[in-house]
Amino acid sequence: MPKVKIPRKSTLVDMTAMCDVAFLLLTFFILTSKFRPQEPVQIDMPGSRAERKIAEQNIMILTVNKDGKVFFGVDNQKVRTRMLERMMATYPDVAFTEAQKLKFATTESFGVPFQQLPDLLDGTIKNDDSAPGIPVDSTSSRYQRNELADWIFAGRVADNELRQQGEIQSEGIAVAVKGDGSTDYPKIKKVMETLVEKKVNKFNLVTALKGGDSMAAEE
């Protein structure tokens, strides 16, 4: 009896549909991903054994570089916009164009006295280590004010107003201090004293672990 020959079937698999799905997913992640902009100053954070990660959203960060210059920023664009409006009411002699206001809304961190902020937004002043830093006492401010204290207050009030209006959903803005390991302690102490002065008695000190993650030790 002759053997029954089983017809061979093609092993070709049409991958067109799978490739379409893969590229659709890739496009989705590219369009929805938010890449964190490079910080204006490079900070060599001191190490610690803290194992608690800092907040990733709705956070206010005070950065102190190795020269003791202070940079300030918040991550929420709505808070930044409302915060600038409050600062303009405090410093009414400093005017901003609409283009400068829009630029500020996308600026996560800056380090200049308030009267120089329009120049920084126009690109006349660089937003890096060459910037003069935000005044932390009245002697270094044209207005004889602790401008960092005013920014902290304006940021917290702006966040509170937006939460009450339902514009943002959070339990309140987190505050963190990130200083270079070689910064003189009196410079960091002055920043922490400013926070306490504005009734911010709970904040994080950002440090680094051996793995390179940013961690926080609560104060």
pLDDT tens figures, 153-187 = 999 999 999 999 988 888 889 999 998 888 888 99
Q: Are 63 and 179 in contact (CB under 8 A)?
A: yes
More confident residue, 207 or 96: 96
pLDDT tens figures, 24-69 = 777 766 666 555 555 666 666 556 655 666 667 889 999 999 999 9
CA distances from 96 to 74, 156, 174, 196 (A): 19, 22, 28, 30
* pLDDT of 36: 53
Closest CA relative to residue 64, chosen from 8, 111, 118: 111
What mean pLDDT is predicted for residues 126-133?
92
pLDDT tens figures, 85-100 = 999 999 999 999 999 9
- Secondary structure element (H or E) that encloses residue 28, with its range: helix 16-32
* pLDDT of 144: 93
